Amino acid sequence: MLETFLAEASRSPLIWSVNDCAMMLANWWQVRHGVDPAAHLRGTYSTESECLSVVERAGGIIALVEQIAAGVGAKRLQYPVAGDIGVIEVHGHQFAAIMGPTGRWMVKAERGMAGHRCGFLKAWSV
């Protein structure tokens, strides 16, 4: 299921408030549980700048993901495994990511998905 989800996400173009890096986490949760934890944010922004404003108003990407995760009962983790979600930092930038089957954190990129072998700032179970 995870590999299929990531492959489909890789083939789809980045569309703000539909499948950007944070919405990928919500999309994955929806595939797994049938509930969209970020329905209240869908369609509220359509550019990177507007997305960054939403993130800033929430207190940052960690705070935004934390609020959404808490709203659906996702549990904080110390040892994430494939399919879990988290926030990572790469070259000074924070991203919402999904732990892929190879142990890389997968982030929606403008073209496809980017995989990063790195630590995480916070993670939650899916």
Q: The domain containing residue 79 runs over which residues?
A: 2-124
- The model's pLDDT over 89-111, given as tens digits with 9 standing for 90+, comes to 999 999 999 999 999 999 999 88
Cα 10 off chain centre by = 13
What average pLDDT does range 4-17 have in this prediction? 96
What count of other Cβ atoms lies within 10 Å of the Cβ of residue 59?
Answer: 11
Domain count, the chain: 1
What percent of the chain shows pLDDT beyond 90? 98
- The model's pLDDT over 12-37, given as tens digits with 9 standing for 90+, comes to 999 999 999 999 999 999 999 999 99
DSSP H helices, 1-126, are: 2-11, 21-33, 48-58, 61-72
pLDDT at 38: 97
